């Protein structure tokens, strides 16, 4: 995906200023920066979730495979199948594990038979590293799983409609360290097939999981570079101060 000169306003308050960023495919891009700097706002531009926020206005251009996702020809519902989102707090539907994953492929008409749908569900749960743990209870409620399992279920749900991009907004902040490590390992695996963008409060997490890091401050994209460079030898003094813990 590519963002060019993106500005976001909530009413007359501007939250993002001229953000331009190229997000590579088959890679993890981390968005870091102090609370309120606009990371989630930027993430929500990428799947047009800001559309549903009253008074929110986005200008500039964001493309996916060269197509402007804000063009009138683009249906936001179809877009969100191509650009999936995983939220901070795991939010499975109050339905069975199977139904949580089957819902998307069903409404998008991706399976022509019951067995095809089952195959998609099993594949998605497998790719999300959850199948072995839940294969004997696919008809039990998704909300009965542990927090980490619920988050992997949400990842399976996102994967089930064959997205190109997976957005993750602090996906581990409600999880314990073991569940966090599992999600991080999963990201390593998923990046072979997907473009992943993660918002994280944790610089250690950004350093562990991402190849590219973008540092936001006061609504501006201050610096973006290879993650190793950002954490060892950033160009901008504000990045330097942030990654060395001087503020934020």
Instruction: Number of residues interacting with ligand ADP: please give it, by CB under 6 A.
Output: 11
Binding test (CB under 6 A) with ligand ADP, winner from 30, 38, 212, 224: 38
Rounded to a whole number of angstroms, the minimum distance from the CB of residue 41 to ligand ADP is 3
Q: Strand 195-199: give its sheet, edge to edge.
A: 83-86, 165-169, 195-199, 27-32, 212-217, 220-226
Pick the piece of the chain touching ligand ADP (CB under 6 A) from 28-36, 73-81, 82-90, 133-141: 28-36
Residues 6+ apart with CB under 8 A from 86: 151, 154, 155, 158, 166, 167, 168, 169, 171
**Per rule CB under 6 A, is residue 120 in the interface with ligand ADP?**
no
**Per rule CB under 6 A, is residue 41 in the interface with ligand ADP?**
yes
- Helix then strand then coil, in percent of the chain rounded to 5, is 40, 25, 35
**Per rule CB under 6 A, is residue 35 in the interface with ligand ADP?**
yes
Whether the CB-CB separation of 74 and 82 falls below 8 Å is answered with no
Please say which residue, 43 or 183, places its beta carbon nearer to ligand ADP.
43
Please say which residue, 125 or 172, places its beta carbon nearer to ligand ADP.
172
Q: Which of 209, 111, 90 is nearest to 153 (CA)?
A: 90
Please say which residue, 59 or 233, places its beta carbon nearer to ligand ADP.
59
Q: Which of 224, 156, 230 is nearest to 194 (CA)?
A: 156
**Per rule CB under 6 A, is residue 142 in the interface with ligand ADP?**
no
Please say which residue, 15 or 196, places its beta carbon nearer to ligand ADP.
15
Rounded to a whole number of angstroms, the minimum distance from the CB of residue 15 to ligand ADP is 4
Distances (CA, A) of 219 to 25, 109, 245: 24, 39, 19
Pick the piece of the chain touching ligand ADP (CB under 6 A) from 32-40, 94-102, 141-149, 226-234: 32-40
201: three-class secondary structure by DSSP:
coil
Q: Please, which of residues 48-67 interact with ligand ADP by CB under 6 A? A: 53
Residue with tokens 């060892």: 232
Rounded to a whole number of angstroms, the minimum distance from the CB of residue 173 to ligand ADP is 12
Q: Is the dihedral of CA 14, 90, 200, 46 positive or negative?
A: negative
Please say which residue, 88 or 126, places its beta carbon nearer to ligand ADP.
88
Instruction: Compose the 2-21 pattern: x for residues touching ligand ADP by CB under 6 A, - for all others.
Output: --------x----x------
Q: Please, which of residues 195-234 interact with ligand ADP by CB under 6 A? A: none
Per-residue DSSP letters for 210-241?
-SEEEEEETTEEEEEEEHHHHHHS-SSHHHHH
Rounded to a whole number of angstroms, the minimum distance from the CB of residue 170 to ligand ADP is 8
**Per rule CB under 6 A, is residue 185 in the interface with ligand ADP?**
no
Q: Which of 160, 28, 22 is nearest to 82 (CA)?
A: 160
Which positions touch ligand ADP (CB under 6 A)? 10, 15, 33, 35-41, 53
């Amino acid at each position: 995906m590519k963002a060019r000169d993106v500005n976001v306003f909530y009413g007359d308050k501007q939250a993002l200023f001229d953000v331009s960023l190229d997000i590579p495919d088959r890679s993890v891009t981390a968005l870091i920066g102090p609370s309120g700097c606009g990371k989630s706002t930027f993430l929500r531009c990428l799947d047009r979730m800001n559309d549903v926020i009253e008074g929110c206005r986005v200008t500039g251009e964001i493309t996916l495979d060269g197509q402007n996702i804000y063009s009138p020809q683009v249906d936001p519902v179809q877009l969100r199948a191509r650009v999936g989102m995983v939220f901070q707090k795991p939010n499975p539907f109050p339905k069975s594990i199977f139904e949580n994953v089957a819902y998307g492929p069903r409404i998008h008409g991706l399976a022509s038979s019951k067995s095809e749908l089952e195959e998609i569900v099993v594949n998605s749960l497998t790719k999300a590293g959850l199948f072995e743990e839940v294969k004997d209870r696919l008809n039990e409620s998704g909300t009965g799983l542990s927090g980490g399992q619920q988050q992997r279920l949400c990842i399976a749900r996102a994967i089930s409609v064959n997205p190109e991009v997976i957005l993750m907004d602090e996906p581990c902040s409600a999880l314990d360290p073991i569940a966090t490590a599992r999600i991080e390992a999963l990201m390593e695996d998923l990046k072979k097939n997907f473009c992943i963008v993660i918002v994280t409060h944790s610089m250690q997490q950004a350093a562990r999981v991402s190849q590219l890091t973008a540092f936001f401050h006061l609504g501006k994209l201050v610096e973006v570079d290879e993650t190793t460079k950002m954490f060892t030898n950033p160009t901008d003094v504000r990045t330097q101060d942030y990654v060395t813990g001087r503020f934020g």
